[in-house]
């Protein structure tokens, strides 16, 4: 056996141990998941994740492994560890109207929590493609609505008030209906009215995460309406699928979104543009000089740019947007003047 073959054999032995240890770690995580479920604790424990991360960092120093390996490895381990903590205790029939990124994200969650799902929408091809990605089926709109116990509308505001939906609402009678918009302001009132007129139970939800796969342990805001005042069933439903639901009111939700979405997006859009302009004006190619902080910020900027239409929708529709932007401008100006003052 050549020396390389011998070393490769040793690597294979270690790989087997690594995979075995990963499976043992996942089993322990699953046990913790059962205890959390019994006590209604959230799956994600950020404090614990931070302390695990710090421990890994100090171990990486001890054993001479580059620190930069730790974050990507641990992020992957945490997300799969949390998948092992989902213990669905019941199965629901869920009809998804729409086939965008958030529909995909939620369907991935329904898949790993063993829920029954059909996908529907105006474009049969797109709905079929999304459904089959997870081994689910397409159903035509009226049938899907009739089949589902829970109807989740994942359309943008313009889709919710469209003729397509207006024709569909009469078939919603007796169903539990959820929208997932980031800005509820005008649409909440519209859907509440539709639910009164068409005799369905409307409860709004807002996933507090982006359109990525398997968002286990993430939070989702739940806002009851007149036709679905007791949110317990839907809080339970989201918990059963691996999310951490937070009940709130329409007003409180919009205020919170002004703080966590409107203001940061506003700054990030301006930052994105200013970075581009400054580099042009200074005539510098900075791509080889990205610091770790800059790389992280740039990743976020890229995500914000990728979600441009949703982000503009939030800026437009959130009732506290103008206030958030005014305050943001004022603070930027104050900071600017402070630096001017220091120079004098
Ligand atoms: C396993 C747990 O659940 C989650 C997964 C963690 C892990 O894989 O180490 C840590 C914290 C939690 O977000 C736990 O709470 O300990």
The residue ranges of every structural domain in the chain are 3-83, 93-248, 253-343
pLDDT the model gives residue 12: 98
* DSSP for 100-151, written as a single string: SHHHHHHHHHHHHTT-EEEEE-S-HHHHHHHHHHTT-EE--HHHHHHH-SEE
Ligand 1 atom at minimal distance to the Cα of residue 78: 8
- Residue 63 is given by DSSP the state T
Q: How far apart are CA 83 and CA 92, in angstroms?
A: 19
Confidence (pLDDT) at 111: 96
ipTM, interface predicted TM-score of the complex = 0.98
Q: How far apart are CA 168 and CA 324, in angstroms?
A: 37
* Fold classification of 93-248 (topology level): Rossmann fold (3.40.50)
Q: Does 27 sit in the ligand 1 pocket, CB within 6 Å?
A: no
Confidence of residue 300 (pLDDT cuts 50, 70, 90): very high
For residue 151, which of 102, 99, 94 has the smallest C-alpha distance? Answer: 94
CA distance 134 to 109: 10
- Looking at residue 184, its pLDDT comes to 83
Residue nearest to atom 10 of ligand 1 (CA): 49
Average pLDDT, the chain: 95
CATH code of domain 3-83: 1.20.59.10
pTM score, two decimals? 0.88
Enter the tokens of residue 178.
């959820």
Looking from the CA of residue 52, the nearest atom of ligand 1 is 9
Ligand 1, residue 44: give the atom nearest the CA: 13
Residue 343 has pLDDT above 70, yes or no: no
- Pocket of ligand 1, candidates 28, 29, 51, 59: which has the most ligand atoms within 8 Å of its Cβ, to mutate? 29
Q: State if residue 86 touches ligand 1 by the CB under 6 angstroms criterion.
A: no
The proportion of the chain whose per-residue pLDDT surpasses 90, expressed as a percent, equals: 94
pLDDT tops 80 at residue 342: no
Quickly count helices (H) and strands (E) in the chain: 15, 8
CA distances from 207 to 136, 175, 181, 286 (A): 22, 21, 8, 36
Any residues with CB less than 8 A from the CB of 268 and at least 6 apart, and which? 300, 301, 304
């Amino acid at each position: 056996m050549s020396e390389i073959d011998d070393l490769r054999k040793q690597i294979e032995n270690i790989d087997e141990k690594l995979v075995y240890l990963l499976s043992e770690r996942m089993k322990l995580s699953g046990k913790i998941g059962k205890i959390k479920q019994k006590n209604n604790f959230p799956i994600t424990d950020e404090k614990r994740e931070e302390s695990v991360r710090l421990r890994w960092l100090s171990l990486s120093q001890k054993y001479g492994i580059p620190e930069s390996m730790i974050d990507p490895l641990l992020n992957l381990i945490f997300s799969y560890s949390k998948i092992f903590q989902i213990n669905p205790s019941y199965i629901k029939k869920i009809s998804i109207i729409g086939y965008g990124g958030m529909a995909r994200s939620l369907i991935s969650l329904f898949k790993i929590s063993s829920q029954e799902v059909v996908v529907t929408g105006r474009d049969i091809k797109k709905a079929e493609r999304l459904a089959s990605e997870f081994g689910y089926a397409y159903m035509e709109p009226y049938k899907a609505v009739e089949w589902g116990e829970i109807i989740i509308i994942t359309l943008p505001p313009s889709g919710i008030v469209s003729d397509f939906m207006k024709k569909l609402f009469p078939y919603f009678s007796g169903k539990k209906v959820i929208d997932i918009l980031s800005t509820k302001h005008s649409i909440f009132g519209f859907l509440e009215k539709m639910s009164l007129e068409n005799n369905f139970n409307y409860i709004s939800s807002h996933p507090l995460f982006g359109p990525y796969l398997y968002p286990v342990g993430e939070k989702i805001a739940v806002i009851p309406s007149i036709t679905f005042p007791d949110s317990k069933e839907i809080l339970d439903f989201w918990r059963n699928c691996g999310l951490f639901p937070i009940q709130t009111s329409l007003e409180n939700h919009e205020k919170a979104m002004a703080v966590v979405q409107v203001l940061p997006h506003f700054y990030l859009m301006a930052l994105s543009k200013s970075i581009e302009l400054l580099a042009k004006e200074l005539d510098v190619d900075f791509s080889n000089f990205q610091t770790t902080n800059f790389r992280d910020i740039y990743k976020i900027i890229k995500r914000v740019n990728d979600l441009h239409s949703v982000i503009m929708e939030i800026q437009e529709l959130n009732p506290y947007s103008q206030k958030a932007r005014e305050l943001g401008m004022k603070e930027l100006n104050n900071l600017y003047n402070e630096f001017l003052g220091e120079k004098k």
